[in-house]
């Protein structure tokens, strides 16, 4: 491009068919940011015969020709730092590697297989990356990952290395009744995280698969989100099994529910008194976390004979 463009946003409404953009768009030395939206048309990427200088790539509402995207990322985008896919179709499998990528977001796509090897990746956000897919698997090699945000459905997951640098993890995953995935590698992969937000939807399949209790190693804050679907009921024993894995490093425990009823609290009592949390349930021994400094319980309904300390609030 002779005009030395460094930021290009293309939103194209085209007739049905396959389109190959001019090669100058991809090989221009000045171009650093590219956002591409191709409504109705199918995008064919150029053969990765050269080096692209793009640092931030955002593909949205675009159908991509099978097989070209992974090779293009792996071999041509050697300066890529940020990659974002939103509502990408046409690809069942995406496999790529990168020695420069720092941030990855995949939102509302229908991949069946993701195989990603990114040594320097810092933040990964998967939001319905396997939407509508019947066969799903994720293979991830990201040893330096710091932030993980994963929402959607469970998949077969394989993590090449433990993510020793992981600081923040958000898991809100659910499993359809007919699905039977191997979930054994999920919690070990995030064992080093210091902050965890996890939903009831995620805990239940982990318990049913025999993955709980799991001993976290460096957890400092836990945000437990109690969200119940219309055809589901929270089981106290499953929550108790998850809480058994909390380490002595934990300093803050936040238990909150959404607008839906938090049914399981009708069967148990939480007491906050001088940094002590006691959970009572006849199916499990009392769990005491004497090292927890702060307890938050939001919008819960306890039994009428509960002690006054059991009302919602913050521990000392």
Omega of the bond leading into 156 within 30 degrees of 0 (cis)? no
Q: Which position has the token pair 């199918």?
A: 42
Per-residue pLDDT at 313 = 41
CB half-sphere exposure, 30, CA atoms < 13 A: 9
The reply to whether the predicted model has a pTM over 0.85 is: no
Instruction: Report, in this order, helix, strand and coil percent for the chain, each rounded to 5.
Output: 15, 40, 50
- CA–CA dist 8, 28 (Å, integer): 11
Where does the pLDDT of residue 179 fall: very low under 50, low under 70, confident under 90, or very high at 90 and above?
low
Averaged confidence pLDDT in the chain: 78
Does 99 or 263 have the greater pLDDT score? 99
Alpha helices, DSSP H, located in the chain: 23-27, 69-75, 186-189, 200-208, 236-243
Q: What is the pLDDT averaged over residues 29-41?
A: 87
Q: How confident is the model at residue 184 (pLDDT cuts 50, 70, 90)?
A: confident
Instruction: Work out the pLDDT band at 232, boundaries 50, 70, 90.
Output: low
224 CB burial (10 A radius; 0-12, 13-18, 19+): buried
The tens digit of pLDDT for each residue in 134-154 reads 678 899 999 999 999 999 988
């Amino acid at each position: 491009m002779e005009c030395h463009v460094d930021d290009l946003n293309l939103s194209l409404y085209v007739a049905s068919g396959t389109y190959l953009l001019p090669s100058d768009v991809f090989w221009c030395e000045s171009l650093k940011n590219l956002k591409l939206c191709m409504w109705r048309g199918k995008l064919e990427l150029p053969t990765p015969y050269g080096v692209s200088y793009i640092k931030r790539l955002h593909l949205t509402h675009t159908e991509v020709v099978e097989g070209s995207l992974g090779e293009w990322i792996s071999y041509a985008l050697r300066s890529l730092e940020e990659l974002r896919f939103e509502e990408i179709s046409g690809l069942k499998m995406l496999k790529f590697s990168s020695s420069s990528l720092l941030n990855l977001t995949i939102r509302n796509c229908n991949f069946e297989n993701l195989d990603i090897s990114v040594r320097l990746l810092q933040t990964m956000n998967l939001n319905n990356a396997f939407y509508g897919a019947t066969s799903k698997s994720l293979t991830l090699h990201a040893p330096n990952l710091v932030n993980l945000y994963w929402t959607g459905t469970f998949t077969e997951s394989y993590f090449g290395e433990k993510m020793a640098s992981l600081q923040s993890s958000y898991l809100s995953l659910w499993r359809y009744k007919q699905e039977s995935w191997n979930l054994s590698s999920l919690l070990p992969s995030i064992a080093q995280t210091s902050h965890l937000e996890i939903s009831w939807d995620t805990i239940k399949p982990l318990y049913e698969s025999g993955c709980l209790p799991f001993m976290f190693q460096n957890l400092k804050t836990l945000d437990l989100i109690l969200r119940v679907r219309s055809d589901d009921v929270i089981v106290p024993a499953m929550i108790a099994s998850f809480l058994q894995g909390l380490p002595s490093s934990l300093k803050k425990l936040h238990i909150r529910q959404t607008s839906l009823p938090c049914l399981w609290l009708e069967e148990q009592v939480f007491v906050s008194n001088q940094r002590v949390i006691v959970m009572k349930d006849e199916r499990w021994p009392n769990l005491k976390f004497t090292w927890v400094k702060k307890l938050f319980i939001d919008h819960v309904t306890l039994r009428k004979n509960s002690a006054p300390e059991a009302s919602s609030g913050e521990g000392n």
